[in-house]
Amino acid sequence: MSYKGLSHYRGTLWLFHQFGQSSEMHSWVLCENYNWKTRLQSSSTFGCLSEMKNGMSAARRLFSASHTTVDPKEVKKFQLLAHKWWDEQGEYAPLHSMNDIRVPFVRDTLLNLSSDHQLGSPLSGIKILDVGCGGGLLSEPLGRLGASVTGIDPLEDNIRTAEQHKSFDPDLDKRIQYKSCSLEEIAEESTETFDVIVASEVVEHVADLETFISCCYQVLKPEGSLFITTLSKTQLSYVLGIVVAEKIMGIVPDGTHNWEKFITPEELECLLESNGFLVKAVNGMLYNPFSGSWSWIESTSINYALHAMKSKAQEQSSSREPPSEAEEEQHPARANTRTAV
């Protein structure tokens, strides 16, 4: 579920990312006269590795306000685009090309966790929940890899589009089922049901991120995997994603994004680990509008992909002692750790 997949918008992000360190860019930012220190105050309150308990108190105040994952305002944004999911040259073109890296990221990570897989159907026997599936852009390639996929989305028009498209392939029609519902509805009826959850370009649109993560924990089997792709909460993402793309150039409608809903890898790791997950990898992502392709990069300042696993016992995460100074020096920031993909 993503409205930010507009090609020109991604092009602007790519260009400014490449030249964002220039003196001209710095001058422009200063002229905008935004109080960055105030805007980033919520991010700076987190000391994920050294002050887990204090950081998580701040996280809960920021993200736990509604106890529902669905934001009606966000759902309304995608209503008019529900029939355009499978237009590979349209608004969702970058999401189509994102499959070139996010599908292998999910596939290879899962294969590395188990040696029991079938040639030609490497994900056979794995139950995947695709949260915010939209028109099924990620559900279908995962189904073709042999997985049993359940795609959910609160917008019925998205589900109708997904159902119609999968019906063209009889094999997919058997492997994928779609439901128009929220994640919390799935959590109410299913406990420890799924091996994997994917939430690609979703968490920046949910109403309550901690409720979202808590529901993911509930429906995942022990040691199940959670895959997330999203936008980071940085000065650069605000300038490019909000000020430039929406307010100045009008590349996407004003109000498409709420920067307060963006989240840095460090913040997301805090929320995940306080809810019984262990973060295994975080990889930076970059879209090149000229080639129409995505690539892995070191920086997580704009887009990133994350893999976390559900702990065997939630207490392992919530009750552990903060790391020592020596441990912090040895592992200063897992958020920039890349895995082979």
Question: pLDDT tens digit string along 249-273?
Answer: 544 556 767 888 899 999 999 999 9
60 in any annotated domain = no
Q: Is 208 among the annotated ligand-binding positions?
A: no
The Cα–Cα gap between 114 and 121 comes to 14
Residue 153 resides in a domain: yes
Mean pLDDT of 25-40: 38
Q: Is 153 annotated as a binding residue?
A: yes
Q: Cα separation of 234 and 5, whole Å?
A: 19
Confirm whether residue 298 is marked as ligand binding.
no
| Residue 100 annotated in ligand binding | no
Please give the pLDDT value at position 313: 60
Residue 102 known to bind ligand = yes
Confidence (pLDDT) at 263: 96
Residue 126 lies in a domain: yes
Structure tokens at 241: 């994603």
Residue 158 structural domain: 72-310
pLDDT above 90 as % of the chain:
48
Q: Is 165 annotated as a binding residue?
A: no
Residue in the block written with tokens 């991120």:
209
Which residues face 130 on adjacent strands?
151, 198
Residue 132: pLDDT over 80: yes
Any domain includes 327: no
pTM: 0.76
State the CB neighbour count (10 A cutoff) for residue 170.
9
204 is in an annotated binding site: yes
In a domain, 230, yes or no: yes
Instruction: Count the Cβ atoms, other than its own, within 10 Å of residue 237.
Output: 21
* CATH number of the domain where residue 142 is located: 3.40.50.150
Task: Kindly state whether residue 168 falls inside one of the protein's structural domains.
Answer: yes
User: Does residue 280 sit within a domain?
Assistant: yes
Window from 65-74, 133-142, 297-306 with minimum mean pLDDT: 65-74
